[in-house]
Amino acid sequence: MMSIKPRRVSATLESLVPSDHELRRIDQLLDFSSIRDQVHSLYSATGRPSIDPAVILRLFFLLFFYGIRSERRLLQEVRYNLAYRWFVGYDLHEPLPHHCVLTKARARWGLPIFRQLFERIVRRCLRQGLVEGHTTFLDATVLRANASRDSLREPLVRPARVRLNELLYSKTDPEAGLVSRDGQRAFFGYKVHRALDARARIITETLVTSGDLVEQKYLTALVEGQRHRGIDPIEVVADANYGTIENYRYLLDQGKVVHIKRRQSGRRLDRFVLEDFRYDAQRDRLICPQGKVLRMVGATAHGKRYRARGTDCRACPVKARCTDATILGRTVQRPWEQAAIEVVKEHLETERAAEHLKKRQVICEGSFAEAKNFHHFGRALYRGKWKMQVQDYLIAVVQNVKRLLRWELQAGVKLSLGAA
């Protein structure tokens, strides 16, 4: 006998979401409602009621926790995904907000609200012992901007002595920088700079710049940003992009242990450089690889200049690797801060430095890979640097919360996402 199944739905939304779903865990452990007090002053006391700020924050959390590609797509998925709908607190019969409420809320709240949200999570991680504050790892990565090469523009008047990629800009996102890489087509992008703590890979500071700016300029900002949150690391680990004299001096003056290799710019591998010459501090002179003496002949704003005798250089068997001079001998400039460079260089030869530099690749690259693979970190959702910074803060919050949830689940404490 053939049966016909009647089409009836009598279940509640609460019963349709599995009890072991990860969003239930998050709902139990995170308090989204405290955001209301934080943004209360940004809303009018009269007029049409807004969408609950706690709902908006939950939507932002879903957007980056699951790496959904757009806010429009997010609201579409909330419409038919029962777990998402339950998480934001809308029953089956309730109409969902329009996706534009996220755009309006982002503009209304502004960057400071999202920065405070990120700082709140970092401070909570610090209190719970997930941040040891002894060793920090610094790194940066490039994200593709929400702009194509077809939007490239060049100013009508080009100033003299300015690099071309500093002038070229995107019509759709002028704050994105033109990024060029070997073997790849140039693209518009942003650069995200991060500091991570060694213990649990907690992101303790993050900032966004144009994609064509170099990392070395932002080491100070990353270190000072952590200090603002009560984190003052003793050891600083980064790649050679941060290895400038200015950064060495800044860190050593504060008593930091520096695990950063020297940045080599324009070094010819077939020529001897300053590091190949031994410095005789007692007599203030340099000794070349062949044992000849270079005496101090003058000084500039950048350092002392040393020169070998012309007769020594002309008779040298490795002259081709050292100098093209035919009359005078080889001249070498030793920076005033060379002592700091040698302190760092000596430390880099230790086993501890080698371990930290190897660990940096795992911690930093792993954090970036996690964000790009799972949390929509590979491409900007928004246009404009401050909006890109909002995206970066929210992704950092999601990544830190994932690590914090392990502790919170064991302790049974509800985490507030509102103002401190």
Tell whether 186 and 306 lie within a shared domain.
no
Tell whether 187 and 244 lie within a shared domain.
yes
- Residue 419: predicted pLDDT: 47
Query: Which has the closest alpha carbon to 348: 360, 336, 362, 363?
Result: 360
pTM for the predicted model, two decimal places: 0.84
Query: Which has the closest alpha carbon to 345: 282, 281, 258?
Result: 258
Query: What type of residue is 411?
Result: A
Beta-bridge partner residues of 287: 278, 293
H/E element holding 30? strand 30-31
Per-residue pLDDT tens over the stretch 180-189: 777 778 888 9
Residue 1 domain-assigned (yes or no): no
Tell whether 143 and 191 lie within a shared domain.
yes
Averaged over 119-145, what is the pLDDT? 92
pLDDT band at 169 (very low <50, low <70, confident <90, very high): low
| DSSP character string of 304-334 | EEEEE-HHHHHT-TTGGGT---SSS--EEEE
pLDDT band at 285 (very low <50, low <70, confident <90, very high): very high
Per-residue pLDDT tens over the stretch 92-111: 889 999 999 999 999 999 99
Q: How many domains does the chain have?
A: 3
Tell whether 46 and 170 lie within a shared domain.
no
Tell whether 362 and 229 lie within a shared domain.
yes
Let me know the angle formed at the C-alpha of 79 by 75 and 80, rounded to the nearest 5 degrees: 130
- Residue 195: predicted pLDDT: 97
In three-state secondary structure terms, 131 is coil
Residue 160 has pLDDT above 70, yes or no: no
Residue 420 has pLDDT above 70, yes or no: no
Tell whether 116 and 220 lie within a shared domain.
no
Tell whether 355 and 228 lie within a shared domain.
yes
Considering 329, 359, 375, which residue would you say is the last residue of a domain? 329
Query: What type of residue is 4?
Result: I
Tell whether 135 and 259 lie within a shared domain.
yes
**118 and 64 Cβ atoms separated by less than 8 Å:** no
If one compares 337 and 188, the residue with the highest pLDDT of the two is 188
Segments forming the whole domain that contains residue 281: 274-329
Place of tokens 């996220």: 102
Per-residue pLDDT tens over the stretch 258-269: 999 887 655 556
In three-state secondary structure terms, 193 is strand
Residue 3 domain-assigned (yes or no): no
If one compares 373 and 1, the residue with the highest pLDDT of the two is 373
| Domain CATH number, residue 172 | 3.30.420
Averaged over 69-81, what is the pLDDT? 94
- Residue 410: predicted pLDDT: 65
Residue 337 domain-assigned (yes or no): no
**Two tokens at 133?**
């504050």
Beta-bridge partner residues of 304: 299, 334
Residue 338 domain-assigned (yes or no): no
- Residue 198: predicted pLDDT: 92
Per-residue pLDDT tens over the stretch 4-61: 766 666 568 887 888 888 898 888 878 899 899 999 999 998 888 899 999 999 999 9
* Pick from 144-148, 315-319, 373-377: least confident: 144-148
Length, in residues, of the chain: 420
- Residue 7: predicted pLDDT: 67
Q: What percent of the chain has pLDDT over 90?
A: 52
Averaged over 243-266, what is the pLDDT? 86
Residue 307 has pLDDT above 90, yes or no: yes
Residues 6+ apart with CB under 8 A from 248: 258, 260, 337, 340, 341, 343, 344
Residue 315 domain-assigned (yes or no): yes
Cβ count within 10 A of residue 57: 27
Averaged over 266-289, what is the pLDDT? 82
**125 and 404 Cβ atoms separated by less than 8 Å:** yes
Tell whether 313 and 359 lie within a shared domain.
no
Residue 339 domain-assigned (yes or no): no
**13 and 86 Cβ atoms separated by less than 8 Å:** yes
Residue 313 has pLDDT above 60, yes or no: yes
Averaged over 84-90, what is the pLDDT? 94
Residue 410 domain-assigned (yes or no): yes
Per-residue pLDDT tens over the stretch 136-156: 999 999 999 887 666 555 554
Residue 288 vs residues 86, 266, 270, 279, 313: alpha-carbon distances, Å = 73, 21, 15, 9, 10
Averaged over 149-177, what is the pLDDT? 63
Tell whether 107 and 78 lie within a shared domain.
yes
Tell whether 282 and 313 lie within a shared domain.
yes
Residue 6 domain-assigned (yes or no): no
Residue 409 has pLDDT above 80, yes or no: no
**Two tokens at 395?**
């992704």
* C-alpha to C-alpha distance for 419 and 29, rounded to whole angstroms: 16
Tell whether 75 and 112 lie within a shared domain.
yes
